[in-house]
Structure 1
Amino acid sequence: MEFCPTCGTMLQYELPHMGRPSRFFCPTCPYVCYIENKVKIKKKMHLDKKDLEPVITDDDMKNASQTDATCPKCGHGRAAYVQFQTRSADEPATIFYTCMNDTCRSTWRED
Structure 2
Amino acid sequence: MEFCPNCANLLLVESASRGRELRFFCPTCPYIFPIKHTIVRKAPLVRKEVDDVLGGEKAWKNVDRTRVTCPKCSHGLAYFMQIQIRSADEPMTTFYKCSSKNCSFQWREG
Fold agreement, TM-score > 0.5 = yes
Shift of the 47–65 alpha-carbon distance from structure 1 to 2, 3 Å rule, reads same
Question: Which residue in the other structure is 2:85 paired with?
Answer: 86
Q: Pairwise mapping of residues 92-103 of structure 1 onto structure 2 (< 5 A)?
A: 92-103=91-102
State, as a whole percentage, how many aligned pairs show the same letter.
42
What's the secondary structure of 1:103's corresponding residue?
coil
Question: Which residue in the other structure is 1:58 paired with?
Answer: 57
**Structure 2: runs of 5+ lacking an equivalent:** 1-23, 27-40
**Structure 1: runs of 5+ lacking an equivalent:** 1-37
TM-score by length of 1: 0.56
RMSD between aligned residues? 2.5
Match among 47, 50, 71 for residue 49 of structure 1: 47
Q: Which runs of 4+ in 1 moved over 2 A?
A: 44-50
- Pick the structure with greater CA Rg: 1
Pairs aligned (count): 73
Tell me which protein shows more strand as a share of its residues: 2
Farther off after superposition, 89-98 or 54-63: 54-63
Distance in 2, matches of 1:93 and 1:39, equals 57
